Structure formats: structure tokens, C-alpha cells
Structure 1
């Protein structure tokens, strides 16, 4: 019986939907904890500091920070590896295909910010103008993973690339408009480490230790610079060699394969468990009708897909970009809706915007959660319906072809 249970568990974890189900389960569990007596203990645990502290080295942080800035850098490392692979020899290999997620992300950043600004201009809540700009790449990709082969590979790559560019834009906005203080010395050190990794790549060094160890040092410097440390994962990924050299497999493929399961079944669920803890209070639903609530909900649920779709459509029609392989325009609208899952990145910006006002922060958090759930459900439904219709059309064509063959055979 134990062997059967182990086999079932391995099959579930290894399936395309298993990690997504685990992730959603952790979201639900986190919300249950947040609205129960256990929340006090859970928050105390997340705020517990662990690490090492000295005059020269500062690595003593709350568990929540280790999750968001430490574990999640591994997630961004994996996503960066997948993007690089597609840029070198995949769905983003041509300049026209690579340009689409960049321009789409630009539209997906500008439209929500504009909607929020129009609704909150002249009010104190204008401080949160960047809140609906961000996409939670982890949750957006989890929904796509749950949909399995119903979504073309090119669309999954497009969403991953778009979400990364989106988050990089959000990080730039945070650095320019929300960072209390940037430490340029640490930024310089991080830049030197990144340059060293590029040199290692040019020298043809294939040993992953030469990239991962300096990458961790770069993470430390970026974290202390005032910029969100997860960007270290993307930067490190872009320096990992693609060619195998004397090794059996390319370093990039080896590392991506090694990280895939830990990221999907451990890191992302832990991240969801730690960050979804939103406490529901009276009056939250009414807060969705305020300029702040409407700005966030409409920005994420409507502004995101509208901005991504319109800029993508215009870019393709002008010949600047190429549409993803096997994708239809309605696919891009569905993916645009999934990009409206702002969630943790939006909450992060909301905390920076309204840290001095608990009421506004709670209102913003609930609006983010509501918009993210709406975007996830609507985006998944759109893509599911498209896949179902395509499947039915395929069966219909096959049936018609067989009927024609039988008709010809009868004559």
C-alpha cells in the first residue's frame, strides 16, 4: 500500500496540474489561517528573525523576507533560464517574437496606471498609482500550468516573458519612485559581479559553481542596494552557458531541470502560504467602490488585458512583432487577463504606498485580492473555452472528412 501511495504521490507531483493544485491549496490555507486565532502565531513565526549579523555582514532577517527575497530569487532564476533558452533557440528566437512581450508588457503597465490615476487624481490615494501595474508571475504561470496542454507552448513562453518584463518595469518604478534610499556603492558592487559572470561566460567556463556562488554574492549586494533582490536571479540566469562544451548536457538545461520540481512544489507553495494572509474585516466589500478600490480593480481586471492586447495587436499589424506560434488573438486576451493577477507584487507596492495608513492599506489589499481572483478565473475560463472549441472543431473536421471518404467510397 505504501508503494502505491508513493507512486500516486510521484505521479501527482510530476503531472502538469499537480504543482498548481498544491499552490492553490496553500492560498486557501493561508486565508483560513489569516482569519482564525492561529494568525497571531503565524505572523509571529513569519516575523521571527533568523540568520547571521556582524559589523561586516548583515544577514539576520525575518522569515518572511527570506521567503520573498531569498527563496523567490530561485524562482526568478528558473524563469530567467527558461526565457534565455527561448531567446536563444525557441519561441522568442526571432527579434519580432522577442519584441512582442516587451511591448505588450509596456501596454500592460501604462493602461492600469492611467486608469488608477484618472480615478484618484488630486486625492491622497494617488500615492498608489503603481499598485495595479504589476503581475504576479508565480500565480499567473500557476494558472497556465493548471490548464496544461490547453494552452500552446508559445503562449506560456509569451506570458512568462511578459511577466518578467512587467516585474522588471515594476522594480524600476519602485527604485525611482518608492525606494527610500538607493545605495549606489552596493549597486556598483552588484554590477561588478554581474560583469564577472559575463566574463566567465565569454571564457567558456561551464562549471555552474562559477555562476551560482558569485550570483549569491550579487543577491546580497542588490538586496542592500535598496532594489528588490529577486532581480539577481534573472541576471544570474542570463549568464548561464547554453552550449554543453565537454559536458553531456548544457549547464542551462542541467540547472533548469534540477530547479524545476523544487520551485514548483516547494518554493511557490511556501511563497503563497506566507503572502496570501489577508484578514477579512467589515466594510471591505464597500471599499471596492471607492476611487482606490475601483482604481485597483479596474486597473488590473480591465487595464491589464486592454493594454497588453491593444499594444500587441497594433505592433503585429504594423509589422514590428510576430504573433506567438499557434496563437489566436483571443488567446492573447486570455493571457492578458491572467496578467491582471497582481497579487503579491501589487501588495508589495501597496505596502510602500500606504504604510502609514492601515485603513487604506487594508482597502488596497482586498481590492488586489478581488481583482486577482477575478482575473485568474476569467483568464482561465477564456483560455479553457478557446481550447474546448478548438477541440470540438478538430473533431468536427475529422468527422466531416470521414463522412466525405465514406460518401466517395459508396460511389
Structure 2
């Protein structure tokens, strides 16, 4: 466990011990019986699990896999003990491609991480099985018991797994546990809800048609997975291109190198505080990275002038939002970027440029990037002045809320700073 903090080591040990205690208790209390299904069935579903785990589609902090459907299927068909063995063995035999280059497998993963991941599979099954047995011992009809108990088992599995992984994420990133948990639930809930009926269908097909039935169903699911992989790859390539363009823009201006990246980071922080969903945050990040793309069309002599600009030079700088739209107007599927590129120098009171728009005439994303852009500009050193102090920047935001800045965005940013102990994000 080298490299882990004391809290992280403690959490790993708690999960190990809790899993062992609950598993032993379940066996002693006969909530879980040590019954194995046929060897052929177990081998088949273990291979299937290894394949679905190996073909997990990962994009940013999201992942899409059909393994949860296999969890539901094996639990229905063979019970908790066989399901645990199948899923753990399948996980151990997976070979997952990461970063489009490296492969992650049992032999290059730290043993403590492998054991933790196995516990993250076993623990939700044990707890879900407790609830499943409670429902099945209730006064509901057999049909109600079967349907409700499986759905509840799936929900419990998802929530326990999300909780365990969110606590780990919180310890690794030092973000609040509730933030990590809410993010995990928002990202994963739809996927897990869809996988529950898929697992039920796979169980019914296996009962009727055995292995060939499962194979016939897995083929279209694999095609869906392949489509998601293509989308993930194209999305990653697009973002890599955007970042390369952003770096090229910033490299032209020696006084504001790294500006677009910092603006994007501040914008994303505001979007998260406003509870934007993952896709909206992704769009906001891309728009912020490209907000100054029009500076490509501005002379180097003006961009890198070591002093204050003349009125004519400032008028040339003020053309960069319009130039930016001309540069990106033919790129498909990035309409959400256009308002930010054109209007990030507008003001809430309508005294900005190039169009003099105000208030609700512009989407909130414009005002988010506008504030982030202004904050970084105030904090950055320039040839004719040093960067402003944090206290002065905060006073400016308070003073200009409702005039230069959208009051909701200004209030949100100030709240972030307060949560950050008075430090600018």
C-alpha cells in the first residue's frame, strides 16, 4: 500500500474486514448457501463476465459496461454464492485497455487494489441479498416477490457500489463525499436501471435456450458497445484537437500563456457548483477552452505589445470574438460554443462588445466564461501592472455584480471561494 495515505489505508482495511465479516455471517445465518451451479454454466458466465469487463467503454469519469446485467442474470439463475464466484473470477481474468495504449490486468495491478475491487463486487451482493430475502419472506404474492425483490436487489447493489467507490474517490481527490456520491449516482443511475431488465431477459433466455440464446443476445449488445466505443474515441480525439488549438492560441500571447486552460477550470468549477449535469459541464469546458480562438486573427505585434494599447489597437483586439465565429462556424455539432466565443466580452448591463447584449439575451454559459475570463485577466501579470490581489479581485466581483457580471454567476463564484477557504479556484 505504498503511496496511500493513512486514511486511504484505513478505508481499504475497513472494506476488507466488513466484507469478510458479512460474508461469514451470511453463510452462518444461511442467507447465503454454499451451493455451486454446474461447472459448465459457471465457466460460461465467468468467460462472459471477463469479456464484458474487458470491453468496458471508458470516457472521462464515465464507464459503460454490461457486467451489471450479468450480475443480475447469475444472481437469478444460480443464487448469491455462485454469482459471487463467477463475477470475481470474471473480474480477475479481465484485460482492460486504458489510455488507448496500455492494458490493465491482474498481474500489473497492485494486490490491495485487486482485493478492494473484489470486495466492491462482493459487498453489494451480500447486502442486496439480505434485502432480497426480507422481501421474499414478506406477505407479497410470488409474482410480486420475484419482480420487486430483483429490482430492489439491483438498486441496493448500485447504491452500495456507488457509496464504496465514492468514499474512495473522496479520499483520493479530497473532494466532499456527498459531491462524489451525487456525481456517481447522476452518471450511473440510467445505465444501471437499463441493465436490470436486460439481466432479467438474459436469465429467461438462458432458461429457455441455454448458451446459444445468451450468445444471440450478446451479439447486438456487443454492437451497441462497439458504437459507444467509436463515439468515445471520436469524442476523445475532438477534445484532444480542442486542447491543441487552445494551446496554440495561448502560445501566441506570451503574457497570457495558460489563460484558456485556467478560464476553463474556473468555468467548470462554477458549472459544478450550479449543479450542471456532466454533458453541460463538458460543453462548458470546451466552450471556455475555445473562447479566445479569434485571437488567431489578431496581429502578434498587438497581442505581445509590452505596454498599454492605443485606441486603434484595442479596436483590433475587440474584433477577436467576431473573427472567432468565422473560424469555427463550419465545424459541425458545436453550436453551444458560438455564444461563448462571440459574446464572452458582453456585460450583464449591455455595455460590452461586440453586440451590446444584456441580461437574459445571452445564455448563462456566456456569463460564466465572461467572469472566469475576467478573474484570470485580473489575477495575471501584465507588462504595465502586476496581477491584482485576491482581496481586490473579490471586491471587484462584488462591486460589479449586476452590472458587469451576472448576479447569479458572481454569487456562485463567491460561494466557491468561501468554500475554498477564501482562495480563488
Going by fraction, where is helix more abundant, 1 or 2?
1
TM-score after normalising by structure 2: 0.26
Structure scoring higher RCO (CA < 8 A, sep ≥ 6) equals: 1
TM-score, length of structure 1 as denominator length: 0.26
Q: Which structure has the greater CA radius of gyration? A: 2
